[in-house]
């Protein structure tokens, strides 16, 4: 029996030995690489890797496959001293899987893989709009964010007209001398050193005489506060005064209301203004300052000690200034959710009238108890307590002179900003409102007036009167705007022969360049000119209904001076 067991054991050992010789041995020398970097670019990717410290590959095998049908992959074999590569001629927006394998004497190691998607850095324009007009089309767009952008190439068909724009900051262009009722296609591409972007295309048919909209019901009166515009000029903002103080955002091209920011109490003056980042700031009779994102959501809110009727100001350094009817001037840090930097209360004041910031950072605040100048740290630079500044009357600046609207016939005062001394005053008939200045230093302002005299005044920089024009109806709280065509525009709060008046006065002699009437739309607001070369006026009608009206004037805003209440299209009340 023992012999039998011995024989079986020997046979099993022989069988095991034979099997062991037939089994392949694991190869622990086929080391994989370590992938160091993988970056997707424009129609290309870059890869780098490192071999295992114990490895000595003969070469590297690189392969890639596409995740999109019809787009080919590829492969390459690289020398062992090559550990990085740029693979080009790829297709943007396609997912590729890249694999690196070292090859050794004993075979090919395992794959180290990564998925990458090349994307174009030649960004196209966005928000491309083609707005038709009489024998022309207004093109506008938002430029891409790229420091490589060199300009634009626009083609127009039919006609194969080509327009090259070498300034990358340009965001609008007027195509003139077109044929009415002919449909044109406009294509724009961005030019980069490495090539050009994909084209954005729009079609438009010139021949529509007038704009695509002229009047929009915004759900409430527009009283005192007027229209201001986004930095790109594509959105107009206007506050309502009753039944609520909502801020309404309207698309300039289409007249569509984009959003409404609800404020429960009326807004009677007090804003709005727009910062360079697109943030809208709105003050109101609810004592609050609102910072509103461009999409209409609240960014932050600060509560003050009183009703804010004066138009606010935004300094170049981002400090926001507003003054309440309690006589308190607030300096708020817009970069820190409106945190209070400092405040100053004018003793005895019960009306905060106007705020303006000079290009040196000095802040000017007008009240019924005087005019005050503050250094940017909140210390008083000078004051003149003899001046009674018109509420919601605004101010203007030209060089080292501040122009201040005053009450009760005192007119407009020219103030030396260095020491607060009065250079001259130009009288008015009743309260004066909203001075503006042209590039020659001529000052224009309105007055409340008494029957039968309700004047617009033009005053030379030395205080002498250049001309006056009787509009024939009260101009209460009406602010003027100056076009680049040498015409100053406004509207009337009172009626002339049963109608409210929309007017444009030639700055040379005060003669009427525009004279229109409306029987239902009372105007008690600051006029504005939009980037679309139209005059904007907020109105008051019956039953708590108010409108934003737009009039074709084919003139842009005069941008070389303080040509509109607020100083610019954004209403920042800040000197350039």
Contact between 415 and 421 under an 8 Å Cβ cutoff? The reply is: yes
Show the tokens assigned to 270.
């007090």
Of the candidates 574, 568, 558, 569, which has an alpha carbon nearest to the alpha carbon of residue 442?
558
Task: Take residue 531 and report the two structure tokens written for it.
Answer: 């980037």
Distance CA 358, CA 321 (A): 12
Sign (positive or negative) of CA dihedral 359, 362, 365, 371: negative
Q: According to the 3-state scheme, what is the secondary structure of 234-255?
A: CEEEEECCECCCCEEEEECCCC
**Which residue has tokens 């708020």?**
332
Task: List the domains of the chain with CATH numbers.
Answer: 34-116 (2.60.40.10), 126-204 (2.60.40.10), 215-552 (2.130.10.10)
CA–CA distance, 556 with 522 (Å, rounded to integer): 24
Rounded-to-integer distance, Cα 215 and Cα 520, Å: 12
| CA 506, chain centre distance (Å) | 31
Burial 145-175 (b: 16+ CB within 10 A, else e): eeeebeebbbbbeeeeeeeebeebeebebeb
Q: Residues 271, 239: contact at Cβ < 8 Å?
A: yes
Ramachandran quadrant class, 215 (left: phi over 0; alpha: psi -120 to 50; beta: rest): beta
- Cis ω before 227 (30° cut-off from 0): no
Separation between Cα atoms, residue 250 and residue 217, nearest integer Å: 11
3-class SS of residue 302: strand
The token pair that represents 344 in the structure block: 């100053």
Tens of pLDDT, residue by residue, the chain (576 residues):
444 444 334 444 444 344 333 333 334 478 999 999 999 988 899 999 999 888 889 999 999 999 899 999 999 999 999 999 999 999 988 999 999 999 998 899 999 999 999 988 889 998 888 877 778 888 989 899 888 999 999 999 998 899 999 999 999 999 999 988 888 999 999 999 988 999 999 988 887 444 568 888 888 889 888 899 999 898 999 999 888 889 999 999 888 899 999 998 877 777 799 999 999 999 988 899 999 999 999 999 999 999 999 999 999 999 999 999 999 999 999 999 999 999 999 999 999 999 999 999 999 999 999 999 999 999 999 999 999 999 998 999 999 999 999 999 999 999 999 999 999 999 999 999 999 999 999 999 999 999 999 999 999 999 999 999 999 999 999 999 999 999 999 999 999 999 999 999 999 999 999 999 998 999 999 999 999 899 999 999 987 788 999 999 999 999 999 999 999 999 999 998
Nearest residue to 480 via CA among 438, 446, 441: 446
Return d(Cα 301, Cα 334) in angstroms, integer.
10
Q: Which helix (H) or strand (E) holds 13?
A: helix 2-22
CB environment 373-400: b (16+ within 10 A), e (fewer): bbebeeeebbbbeebbbbbbbbbbbbee
């Amino acid at each position: 029996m023992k012999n039998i067991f011995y024989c079986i054991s020997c046979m099993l050992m022989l069988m095991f030995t034979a099997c062991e010789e037939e089994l392949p041995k694991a190869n622990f020398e086929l080391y994989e690489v370590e992938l160091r970097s993988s970056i997707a670019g424009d129609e290309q990717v870059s890869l780098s890797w490192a071999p295992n410290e114990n490895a000595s590959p003969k070469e590297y095998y690189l392969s890639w496959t596409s995740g999109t049908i019809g787009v080919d992959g590829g492969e390459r074999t690289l020398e062992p001293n090559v550990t990085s590569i740029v693979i080009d001629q790829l297709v943007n927006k396609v997912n590729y899987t890249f694999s690196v394998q070292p090859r050794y004497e004993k075979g090919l190691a395992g794959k180290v893989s990564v998925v990458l998607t090349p994307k174009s850095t030649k960004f196209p324009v966005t928000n491309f709009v083609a707005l038709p007009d009489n024998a022309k089309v207004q093109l506008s767009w938002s430029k891409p964010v790229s420091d490589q952008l060199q300009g634009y190439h626009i083609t127009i068909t039919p006609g194969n007209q080509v327009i090259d724009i070498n300034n990358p900051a340009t965001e609008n262009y007027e195509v003139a001398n077109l044929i009415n009722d002919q449909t044109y296609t406009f294509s724009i591409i961005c030019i980069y050193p490495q090539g050009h972007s994909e084209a954005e295309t729009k079609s438009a048919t010139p021949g529509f005489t007038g704009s695509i909209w002229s009047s929009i019901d915004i759900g409430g009166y527009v009283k005192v506060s007027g229209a201001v515009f986004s930095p790109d000029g594509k959105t107009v903002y206007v506050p309502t005064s009753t039944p609520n103080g909502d801020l309404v955002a309207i698309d300039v091209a289409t007249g569509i209301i984009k959003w409404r920011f609800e404020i429960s109490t009326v807004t009677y003056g007090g804003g709005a203004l727009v910062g360079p980042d697109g943030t809208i700031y709105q003050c109101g009779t609810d004592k609050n300052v609102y910072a509103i994102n461009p999409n209409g959501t609240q960014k932050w809110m600060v509560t003050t000690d009183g009703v804010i009727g004066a138009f606010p100001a935004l300094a170049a350094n981002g400090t926001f200034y507003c003054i309440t009817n309690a006589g308190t001037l607030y300096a708020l840090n817009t970069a820190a959710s409106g945190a209070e930097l400092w405040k100053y209360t004018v003793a005895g004041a019960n009306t905060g009238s106007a705020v303006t910031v000079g290009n040196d950072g000095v802040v000017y605040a007008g009240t019924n108890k005087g005019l005050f100048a503050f250094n940017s740290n909140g210390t008083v630079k000078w004051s003149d307590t003899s001046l009674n500044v018109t509420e919601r009357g605004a101010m203007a600046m030209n060089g080292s002179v501040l122009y201040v609207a005053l009450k009760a016939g005192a007119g407009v005062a020219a103030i030396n900003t260095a020491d607060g001394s009065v250079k001259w005053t130009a009288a008015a008939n009743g309260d004066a409102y909203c001075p503006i200045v042209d590039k020659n230093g001529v000052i224009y302002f309105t007055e409340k007036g008494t029957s039968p005299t309700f004047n617009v005044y033009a005053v030379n920089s030395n205080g002498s009167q250049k001309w006056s024009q009787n509009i024939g109806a009260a101009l209460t709280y009406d602010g003027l705007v100056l076009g680049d065509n040498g015409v100053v525009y406004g509207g009337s709060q009172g009626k002339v022969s049963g109608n409210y008046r929309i007017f444009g006065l030639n700055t040379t002699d005060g003669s009427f360049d525009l004279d229109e009437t409306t029987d239902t739309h009372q105007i008690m607001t600051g006029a504005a000119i939009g980037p679309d070369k139209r005059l904007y006026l907020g109105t008051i009608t019956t039953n708590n209904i108010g409108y934003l009206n737009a009039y074709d004037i084919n003139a842009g805003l005069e941008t070389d001076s303080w040509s509109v209440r607020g100083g610019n299209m954004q209403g920042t009340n800040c000197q350039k």
